[in-house]
Structure 1
Amino acid sequence: MSQLTTRIRLYGTDCDQFKLVQEAIKQTQTNLHVFAGIYIDGNETTYTRQRDQAFAVLDEYGVDNVLGLTVGNEYLLQAFTADPATLPTAQTYLISKITEVRTMLAAKNYAKTIPVGSADAGSQITAAYAAAADYVMANSHPFFSGVTAAGAAAWTAQYLIDQEPHFATDAGKPLYSAEIGWPTDAMAGGSLTLNGSAASIPNAQDLLDTFVCAANTNITAGGAYNHGYFWFELFDQAWKTQYGGAEPYWGLFDKDRNLKSLTIPSCLADAEAPVGSMGNNDGGGSTSNGGSGTSSGSSSNPSGTTRNNGATASFASSPVVMLSALTTLLAFMGGATLL
Structure 2
Amino acid sequence: MAAALEDEKRKKRKSKLIIIGAIIAVIVLAAVGTAVGVIVSKNNSNSSSSSSKSTKNGSSTATTSDPNNPSKFTKDPALHQAFYGMAYTPEGALMEFGCSNTLENTIRDIQLLSQLTKRVRLYGADCNQTAQVLEAIVQTKVEMEVFVGIYNMASDDHEAYQRQRDLIKDAIETYGTKHIAGVTVGNEFMLNWVTGHDEKDPNSAIGKEGSAILLADIQDMRKTLDDMSLDKHIPLSNVHAWFANTTAEGAADWVFEFFDGQNVAPAALLPNKPHMYIAETGWPTKSSDAGNAHNGGSPASEEGLQSFLDTFLCQANDKGVGYFFFEMFDEEWKDIKFGGVEGWWGLFNKDRTLKNVKIPTCTAP
TM over 0.5: yes
Give the Cα–Cα distance (whole angstroms) in 2 for the partners of residues 6 and 114 of structure 1: 22
Q: Aligned AA for 1:176? A: Y
| 2:143 maps to 1:31 | yes
Task: Pick from 227, 244, 258 the counterpart of residue 107 of structure 1.
Answer: 227
Tell me whether 1:158 sits opposite 2:257 in the alignment.
yes
Distance 1:173 1:78 in 2: 25
1:175 corresponds, among 251, 276, 283, to 276
Does the CA contact (< 8 Å) of 1:190 and 1:246 recur in 2?
no
Q: 1:108 and 1:67, CA in 2 relative to 1: closer, same or farther beyond 3 A?
A: same
Which deviates more, 40-49 or 151-160?
40-49
CA RMSD of aligned residues (A): 1.6
Query: SS of the residue aligned with 1:136?
Result: strand
Identity across the alignment (%)? 41
Question: 1:76 is matched with which residue?
Answer: 190
Q: Where in structure 2 are there 5+ consecutive unaligned residues? A: 1-112, 200-204
CA offset digits 1:100-159 (Å, max 9, x no partner): 2112212122xxx443xxxxxxxxxxxxxxxxxx21111110011111011100000011
Q: How does 1:268-287 map to 2 (within 5 A)?
A: 268-270=363-365
CA distance in 1, matches of 2:311, 2:302: 14
SS at match of 2:249: helix
Supply the distance in 2 between the matched residues of 1:217 and 1:145 (Cα, whole angstroms).
24
| Residue number in structure 2 paired with 1:307 | none
Q: 8 Å contact 2:289–2:339 — kept in the other structure? A: no
Find the residue that maps to 1:35 and give its secondary structure. strand
Name the CA distance, whole Å, in 2 between partners of 1:139 and 1:214: 18
1: distance between equivalents of 2:289 and 2:258?
32
- Cα distance in structure 1, aligned partners of 2:324 and 2:268: 18
- What amino acid does structure 2 have at the position aligned with 1:15? C
Q: Offset of 1:263 from its aligned partner?
A: 0.4
Is structure 2 residue 181 aligned with structure 1 residue 87? Answer: no
State which of 180, 188, 192 in structure 2 corresponds to 1:66.
180
Moved more, 253-262 or 167-176: 167-176
Residues in 1 aligned to 2:139 and 2:209: alpha-carbon distance in whole angstroms? 43
Q: Give the SS at the match of 1:157.
A: helix
Q: Is the 8 A contact 2:124 2:148 kept in 1?
A: yes
Per-residue CA deviation, residues 246-284 of structure 1 (Å, 9 max, x unaligned), is: 2221111111111011001121122xxxxxxxxxxxxxx
Give the Cα separation in 1 of the matches to 2:160 and 2:338.
23
8 Å CA contact 2:121–2:146 kept in 1: the answer is yes
Count how many residue pairs are aligned between Structure 1 and Structure 2.
Answer: 242
Which stretch of structure 1 is more off in the superposition, 180-189 or 256-265?
180-189
User: Contact 1:191/1:246 (CA < 8 Å) preserved in 2?
Assistant: yes
Aligned twin of 1:246? 341
Query: What displacement does 1:5 show?
Result: 0.3
Residue in structure 1 matching 2:311, options 205, 210, 227: 210
Q: Could you tell me how far 1:197 is from its partner in structure 2?
A: 2.8
Distance 1:240 1:165, change over 3 A: farther
When residues 77 and 191 of structure 1 are mapped into structure 2, their CA distance, relative to the original with a 3 A threshold, is closer
Counterpart of 1:256, as a letter, is D
Output one character per residue of 1:281-301: Cα deviation in whole Å (capped at 9) or x when no partner. xxxxxxxxxxxxxxxxxxxxx
How far the C-alpha of 1:175 sits from its partner, in A, is 1.0
Amino acid at match of 2:334: K
User: The residue matched to 2:292 in structure 1 has which SS?
Assistant: coil
Match of 2:300 in 1: 199
**CA deviation digits over 1:15-62, x for unaligned, max 9?**
111010001111111111001112212422111101111100000000
Q: Which residue of 1 aligns with 2:325?
A: 231
Residue-by-residue CA offset, 1:211-247 (whole Å, 9 max, x unaligned): 000000000xxxxxxx311111111111122322222
Matches within 5 A, 1:284-323: none
Q: Please give the secondary structure, in 2, of the residue aligned with 1:73.
A: coil
